[in-house]
Structure 1
Amino acid sequence: MASDIIRSGIGRRTGIALWRQIADAIRAGITSGLGDKHGKLPPEMELAELFGVNRHTVRSAISALVSEGILRAEQGRGTFIIQPDRLTYPISKRTRFSASLAEQGQRGESRMMSHDVMPAPEEVAQALQLDVGAPVLQVRSVGVGDDTPVSRATAWFEHARFPDMADNLLRFNSVTRAFAACGLDDYVRISTRIEAYHATLDDVEILRLSPGSIVLVTFAINADLEGRPVQYSKTRFAADRVSLQVEHAPLS
């Protein structure tokens, strides 16, 4: 039952505020049938008894989820679950942010926030098959769909191979077109790892999330058609706005 699932996720003396744990538990409960057929949550008093806390703590959790756009509070009626239309972000051999959103009828773009050339740390060097300390271009950007931030990313490129990458990104606002201007006409995804975390302070500010929100993080490597890595990126997606869909190549 949903009540059993959400009750089991709460622990005291964990270092995580009770209201935040309750907010996470309600998120989990939503997908397990916590609301009724109209999407209405149990009353605050019932939730407080379920979690073994006072109503103020439950109210703080609900307030955070309302700010996040997951719940809707209606005066005199109660609290209801909002079922948003999530964007589907396909992870495939050729993953392209703007094209993916355009296929779903949304205007999408990646907006560069900053860029600089830096010595490659060990993780980046390993992903790009470079020596530690080799110069790489680091680019921070925000992915936007219909003016709503859905992701933020940090990407690294081999600076010696793509010395004009930053200028091209500023010019075209597209990784695909920037690569083409650098002489790389095509590239493919060779690996993606997905993990889930609570939102950081930067996530909260940049993606307009509430504290305690969940983000899905992808660690991805793109390579040229000869298999040489050309881009390593970490992208943080707002979990309540985006579904990551891993697509496999058809059997030949």
Structure 2
Amino acid sequence: MDSQKGGSSVRQAVWQKIAETLQQDIRSGLFDNGGRLPTEVVLAARFSVNRHTVRQAIGHLADLGIVVSHQGRGVFLRDAGLEYRVGPRTRLTDNLVRQGRRPEREEVRVETIPAPRAVGRALRLPFSASVQWLSYRTRVEGRLTCLNDHYFPTERFPAIGEDFLRLGSITEALRCAGIEDYLRASTRINARLCSAAEAKQLDLSRGRPLIVTAGVDCDLLGRPISVNQARMVADSVTLTVERDE
């Protein structure tokens, strides 16, 4: 019995030492931010141990929030993440530029659709009104991070989609429509597991958590101009809620 306990202690010390060595590698910059770690087979050969011992070390790093495992893809160094500030002036592009990052938008769709009931209520539209729906996914530094949907009243912003496609910015597209500034009237935040469709769009394993924000923006006279939703990969973003000005 004692010898078994002693053996267990030795094995534990081995995986702890491996975990400490990998942490040193990470701190020294051996792996890129968000980069992939070597496979279990490679690490087992490097440390002359079996894969189970490597798995223990990796599991410990995951518990510490240092790495994240993606099924079928491998183990990745958890990057510093994006800080998304939610406040009176919530702008995705501005949020990213302040962090020295540039968003890339993919699979952009622009359609005129009947206003969904909740959207119509938030925009104070008559029952039969239509909206301009802008939908796209956002990639930052090569990593898919967010699914975005924006809804604008068609009567007031008939060309918002064309302007967005041309300029690549919601703020600039609104400026073309005479909106020089606008404020966030409300933001609802919740968390849930991604659907199968969302997992496919964001290249995630099914059931990964998302942070979902739903906001209403108004012009400076208090009139609603847009409803927007962002579905963000939970482990790639930190939300900071700022007080009203």
Matches within 5 A, 1:10-89: 73=40, 74-75=43-44, 76=49, 77-78=54-55, 79=58, 80-81=61-62, 82=67, 83-89=78-84
Judged with a 3 Å threshold, the aligned counterparts in structure 2 of structure 1 residues 102 and 183 are, in CA distance, closer, same or farther, namely same
Residue matched to 1:54: none
Residue matched to 1:137: 132
Larger % of helix: which? 2
Are 2:101 and 1:96 equivalent residues in the alignment? no
158, 165, 172: which is aligned to 1:177?
172
Query: Distance between the aligned counterparts of 2:112 and 2:19, measured in 1?
Result: 50
Residue matched to 1:114: 109
Percent sequence identity is 30
Preserved contact between residue 125 and residue 133 of structure 1 (Cα < 8 Å) = no
**One-letter code of the match for 2:97?**
A
Deviation at 1:245, TM superposition (A): 1.1
Residue matched to 2:28: none
Judged with a 3 Å threshold, the aligned counterparts in structure 2 of structure 1 residues 211 and 39 are, in CA distance, closer, same or farther, namely farther
123, 126, 138: which is aligned to 2:121?
126
Q: Secondary structure at the match of 1:163?
A: coil
Deviation at 1:133, TM superposition (A): 2.5
Are 2:238 and 1:248 equivalent residues in the alignment? no
Judged with a 3 Å threshold, the aligned counterparts in structure 2 of structure 1 residues 219 and 37 are, in CA distance, closer, same or farther, namely farther
CA RMSD, 1 decimal: 2.6
Are 2:196 and 1:198 equivalent residues in the alignment? no
**One-letter code of the match for 1:224?**
D
Q: Secondary structure at the match of 1:180?
A: helix
Deviation at 1:200, TM superposition (A): 1.2
Structure index of larger Rg? 2
Preserved contact between residue 97 and residue 109 of structure 1 (Cα < 8 Å) = no
Query: Distance between the aligned counterparts of 2:162 and 2:106, measured in 1?
Result: 14
204, 211, 214: which is aligned to 1:216?
211
157, 160, 163: which is aligned to 1:165?
160
Residue matched to 1:149: 144
CA distances 1:134-192 after superposition (whole Å, capped 9, x unpaired): 01111111122123221101111000001111110110010000000111111111100
Judged with a 3 Å threshold, the aligned counterparts in structure 2 of structure 1 residues 206 and 181 are, in CA distance, closer, same or farther, namely same
Q: Secondary structure at the match of 2:200?
A: helix
Query: Distance between the aligned counterparts of 1:103 and 1:174, measured in 2?
Result: 15
Judged with a 3 Å threshold, the aligned counterparts in structure 2 of structure 1 residues 101 and 132 are, in CA distance, closer, same or farther, namely same
Deviation at 1:96, TM superposition (A): 1.1
**One-letter code of the match for 2:188?**
R
Query: Distance between the aligned counterparts of 2:198 and 2:17, measured in 1?
Result: 33
Gaps of 5+ in 1: 1-35, 41-68
Judged with a 3 Å threshold, the aligned counterparts in structure 2 of structure 1 residues 222 and 37 are, in CA distance, closer, same or farther, namely farther
Deviation at 1:39, TM superposition (A): 6.3
Query: Distance between the aligned counterparts of 1:118 and 1:161, measured in 2?
Result: 14
Deviation at 1:84, TM superposition (A): 2.8
176, 184, 187: which is aligned to 1:189?
184
Count of residue pairs the alignment pairs up: 189
Query: Distance between the aligned counterparts of 2:230 and 2:147, measured in 1?
Result: 6
CA distances 1:46-77 after superposition (whole Å, capped 9, x unpaired): xxxxxxxxxxxxxxxxxxxxxxx89x855342
Query: Distance between the aligned counterparts of 1:123 and 1:142, measured in 2?
Result: 22
